[in-house]
Chain A
Amino acid sequence: MAAKKLRRAQLSQELCERLSRCQITTCQDFLCLSLLELMKVTGQSYYEVQKLLCKVSRACAPKMQTAYEMKLRKSVSPSSAFLSTTLHGLDRVLHGGVPCGSLTEITSPPGCGKTQFCIMLSVLATLPVSMGGLDGAVIYIDTESAFSAERLIEIAGNRFPTYFDSDEKVFCMTRSVHLYRELTCCSVLKRIMSLEEEIISKKVKLIIIDSVASVVRKEFDTKLQGNLAERSNFLTRGASVLKYLAEEFSIPVILTNQITTSLSNGPAIQADLVSPADDLSLSE
């Protein structure tokens, strides 16, 4: 939306040309200027510039919906609102399961079962809707090289023996799980940015990133100057793209995280589970 070119915002041709001479081509450039600067570059009066501002804003602004419309839309297809985890206690607490359309974070100390949980959810997502699945493909971004295809097949075979009774069905399931091994922050971010097209072409219904924490902690030492800002920059960019994908396609996105100790002498404001993204920006 921000990179929308001004000529698509229905400004006149000559105005667009005049603005592009001052290096103002997108809505972002236009809206970042103050009123006086806009008057200077467009050569128009104060009131005209305000009208232009409204025009450009209308090209960028989101559409309004009332909460009632949102509720009606949700109630039309209730089954697609959650991915049931098949653990009844957990489903009850989560009011149905892992919610579609938002980010879910799974955190634990090492060895508790995060990757196992993710592998199980991958199997569940490929199941047909009648069995509680999402009938779609899975994108699994693995930064720790902890994914095991054998384990995937083992879980599928043992959990749903009646469904996965033939090799054909098992292969079909494994073909729907797309694994990407990314080992640096940069490649993870690039991969996340490229997901939009993959989701449409492969009919993806679940995105799993296991884990964000390991790749961030490897590269960013917060004791060094400037690293904290860069780390939070990377995390918020990743988070905003993932949120956009989750909402746009109404699919669940699962991230795993690690535990860190918060050492502080002053009044402890954090609870014992603190995300290693200490700037607390990822789970928002």
Chain B
Amino acid sequence: MQREVGSLPLAPALRARLAAAGFQTAQELLETGPCGLSKEIGISKEEALEALQVVRQECHGDAARTAGGSGTARKFTALELLEEEQAQGFIITFCSALDNILGGGVQLTKITEVCGAPGVGKTQLCMQLAVDVQIPECFGGVAGEAVFIDTEGSFMVDRVVDIAAACVEHCQLIAEAQQEADHLKALETFSLESILSHIYYFRCRDYIELLAQVYLLPEFLSEHSKVRLVVIDGIAFPFRHDFEDLSLRTRLLNGLAQQLIIIANDHKAAVVLTNQMTTRIGQSQSTLVPALGESWGHAATVRLIFHWDNSQRLATLYKSPSQREATVPYHVTPHGFRDVQPPAVTQNAEGTEMNPRKRPRREEEKQ
């Protein structure tokens, strides 16, 4: 109630008039009433009423916040957060080594960035995740839908069909081995058509379309509340050309990062971005670093760098708040993203990963 007039979300011209007339707190405005306000400032009665309604809404929001109720600024204890994090699902990548170093898979409510040279498998991982997010809960998945924002045009439907078919087959093998009722029921809805129908694809041709799409994303996600994954394939591509003003670019990217963090938190979705690599010329040698500059490095919570070692593809966990840095090899097979060889240790205490390389008869599902 003691909120200053200057901090209210009113039109700037109106705020200037209120300040000139001497109003200081929201309480004064509410006491004056619409007629008195319109006479004092010289605006119409309707405008005064609108302004007062905005002020009332704001003050109610403030009151709810300070009383500790639900609002946009939530308070938690670390214990509550721990329980929430442990109950949360991960989106598996089907490469158990990669899932291990990530702590179970791609985490929901966090932004994961995948950087790498062209051809190393970033888009393959994105397509794999868009399929894996839809795995039903009884098989260890999060049963969500996916939004795929493509800026480079590298999304191939035929490839997604292959990956989805392999995933469905894999789940069918598990169901046959385990023979549980809810597995078979889940399989009825988990088919190729349903997987493809729940991948929402947007093709953004330049950075303006990307910005516009991210502005519209919260509305889209409220309508499609089952979305648990937002992939932006190629966040770097539209920002790497036609930008003479680099400070504008940094500002737009920061704004984008903020909006994605809000989206990830509010809708309990994982956000996966892919980035390109660029050459940084040093004194004696040049190195490959992720594109978009140093300040963009702060945007993502988890950063994976994909690179080559002769002909073996490697994934390095470069930045993570909870896991150790590690490098693992991976493969891109006709069935999608996979491990290089059957890993030796298969039993994992808390993991919910499936091991795709083991033969069907010995398929075990950890739950």
Residues of A in contact with B (beta carbons under 8 Å apart): 1-2, 27-28, 31-32, 34, 39-40, 43-48, 53-54, 56-68, 70-71, 74, 95, 102, 228, 232-233, 236-237, 240, 243-244, 246-247, 264-266, 269-271, 278-281, 283-284
Contacts and interface: CB of A to CB of B under 8 A. Distances in A.
Contacts of B118: 280, 283-284
Nearest to A28: B208
Contacts of A264: 285-286
Contacts of A280: 117-118, 276-278
A66 B134 CA distance: 14
5 closest residue pairs by CB, A with B? A46-B9, A2-B208, A236-B241, A57-B212, A68-B196
Residue with the greatest number of chain A CB neighbours at <10 A, chosen from B12, B148, B161, B234: B12
Interface stretch (B35-43, B149-157, B340-348, B357-365): B149-157
A9 B362 CA distance: 59
B288 interface: yes
B322 interface: no
Interface stretch (B95-103, B104-112, B199-207, B293-301): B199-207
A233 B278 CA distance: 13
Given A61-B204, A64-B200, A66-B200, 17 more contacts: A27-B212, A31-B211, A57-B215, A61-B209, A64-B202, A67-B196, A67-B199, A70-B157, A95-B158, A232-B240, A237-B242, A240-B205, A243-B152, A269-B307, A280-B277, A281-B276, A284-B276
Contacts of A45: 9-11, 14, 54
Given A31-B212, A233-B242, A247 B12 contact: no
Interface stretch (B168-176, B248-256, B260-268): B248-256
B181 interface: no
A84 B294 CA distance: 44
Contacts of A2: 206-209
B134 to A, nearest CB: 11
B237 interface: yes
B13 interface: yes
22 contacts: A27-B212, A28-B208, A31-B208, A40-B12, A45-B54, A54-B216, A57-B213, A57-B215, A57-B216, A58-B212, A60-B209, A61-B202, A67-B160, A68-B199, A102-B153, A240-B205, A240-B238, A278-B279, A279-B278, A280-B117, A281-B237, A281-B240
Contacts of B252: 32
Contacts of B279: 228, 278-279
Contacts of B310: 271
B241 A62 contact: no
Given A31-B208, A53-B215, A265-B285, A66 B240 contact: no
Nearest to B206: A2
Contacts of A65: 200-201
B153 A271 contact: no
Interface string B305-349: 001101100000000000000000000000000000000000000
A44 B12 CA distance: 7
A244 B205 contact: yes
Interface of B: 9-14, 54, 117-119, 130, 148, 152-154, 157-158, 160-161, 193, 195-209, 211-213, 215-216, 219-220, 234, 237-238, 240-242, 248, 251-252, 255, 276-279, 281, 284-288, 307-308, 310-311
A233 B246 CA distance: 13
Nearest to B50: A45
User: Which of A57, A95, A271: most chain B CB closer than 10 A?
Assistant: A57
Contacts, number: 162
A99 to B, nearest CB: 8
B12 to A, nearest CB: 5
B223 to A, nearest CB: 11
A95 B197 CA distance: 24
Given A45-B54, A279-B279, A66 B196 contact: yes
Contacts of A271: 308, 310-311
B307 A43 contact: no
B255 A34 contact: yes
A62 B238 CA distance: 14
Nearest to B314: A269
B294 to A, nearest CB: 16
B9 A61 contact: no
A69 to B, nearest CB: 8
A32 B336 CA distance: 38
A67 B237 contact: no
Contact of B117 (A32, A71, A269): A269
A272 to B, nearest CB: 9
Contacts of A278: 279
Contacts of A270: 117, 288, 308
A266 B161 contact: no
A25 B152 CA distance: 27
B153 A243 contact: yes
A66 B196 CA distance: 7
B96 to A, nearest CB: 25
A1 B206 contact: yes
Nearest to B119: A283
A64 B201 contact: yes
A269 B117 CA distance: 9
A278 to B, nearest CB: 6
